[in-house]
Amino acid sequence: MERVQRMTYPAGAVLGGRTLRPSAFFAGVRAGVPIGLGYFAVSFSLGIAARSAGLTAFQALLASALELASAGEYAAFTLIAAGASLWEMALMTLITNARYLLMSCALSQRLSPDTPLSHRLLTGWFITDELFAVSSAQPGRLDPRYLWGAAAVAAPCWSVGTALGVLAGNLLPLRAVSALSVALYGMFLAVIVPAGRKSRVLAALVLVCFAASWAAAVLPLLSALSAGSRTILLTLVIAGGAALLFPVKEEADHA
pLDDT at site 179: 61
Angstrom distances, CA of residue 241 to CA of 200, 227, 233, 246 = 16, 21, 12, 8
Is the pLDDT higher at 100 or at 18? 100
- Confidence label for 180 from pLDDT (cuts 50, 70 and 90): low
Distance CA 163, CA 197 (A): 34
Terminal-to-terminal C-alpha distance of the chain: 25
- Confidence label for 188 from pLDDT (cuts 50, 70 and 90): low
pLDDT at site 29: 92
Are 40 and 153 contacting, i.e. CB atoms less than 8 angstroms apart? no
Mean pLDDT of the chain, nearest integer: 79
Q: Among 3-7, 111-115, 143-147, 218-222, name the most confident range.
A: 143-147
pLDDT at site 217: 84
- Letter for the amino acid at 171? L
pLDDT at site 147: 92
- Letter for the amino acid at 215? A
pLDDT at site 75: 83
Helix runs in 82-199, H state only: 86-96, 99-108, 117-125, 129-136, 144-171, 174-198
**209-229 confidence digits (pLDDT tens):** 889 888 888 888 887 876 667
Q: Is the pLDDT of residue 134 over 70?
A: yes
Is the pLDDT higher at 138 or at 18? 138
- Confidence label for 148 from pLDDT (cuts 50, 70 and 90): very high
**72-112 confidence digits (pLDDT tens):** 888 888 888 888 888 888 888 888 787 788 788 888 888 88
Q: Of 133, 104, 119, which is closest to residue 28 (Cα–Cα)?
A: 133
Are 120 and 111 contacting, i.e. CB atoms less than 8 angstroms apart? yes
Q: Of 202, 162, 187, which is closest to residue 59 (Cα–Cα)?
A: 162
Q: Is the pLDDT of residue 115 over 60?
A: yes
Q: Of 231, 202, 221, which is closest to residue 94 (Cα–Cα)?
A: 231
CA dihedral 6, 7, 8, 9 (to 10 degrees): 70
Is the pLDDT higher at 222 or at 4? 222
Three-class secondary structure of residue 49 per DSSP: helix
Q: HSE-up of 159 (CA within 13 Å, CB side)?
A: 17
Q: Of 33, 59, 7, which is closest to residue 156 (Cα–Cα)?
A: 33
pLDDT at site 190: 64
Distance CA 71, CA 93 (A): 9
Are 138 and 31 contacting, i.e. CB atoms less than 8 angstroms apart? no
